[in-house]
Amino acid sequence: MSFLSDEQKKLVDRIGTVASDIEARMMLGTIGLYIDDAQIGVVEDDAVYLRAGDDHRASFEEQGATPYNAGGGVAQASYFRVPDAILEDNDALTTWVEHAGSVAA
């Protein structure tokens, strides 16, 4: 994973504490997060974005998550930035990762 910055490696490692089978891969100029070949998220700059289904978007937004912006000002509503408070809470992060995995499957 030499393509990851130190900050990105920390974020991937943090996700790995609740999902030991997480894999980071280079993908179209960004970094994709995968579990069992299903893309569950994206790491860009110093942020993690996890996949959200229709039934969780409002909940994610209520918790301070913002949609992923793939460039050009276009928000990608299927991925949301994981707020710092969620990253710091194992139970909450586990819930977010599990949801992302279920949507990606």
State mean pLDDT over 31-58. 91
- Asked if the model's pLDDT at residue 73 lies above 70, the reply is no
- Asked if the model's pLDDT at residue 1 lies above 70, the reply is no
- Asked if the model's pLDDT at residue 11 lies above 60, the reply is yes
Q: How many CB atoms lie within 10 A of CB 22?
A: 19
Residue 74 confidence (pLDDT): 57
Whole-prediction pTM: 0.88
Q: What is the DSSP string of the chain?
A: -TTS-HHHHHHHHHHHTT-TTEEEEEETTEEEEEETTEEEEEEETTEEEEE--TTTHHHHHHTT--EEE-STT-EEEEEEEPPHHHHT-HHHHHHHHHHHHHHH-
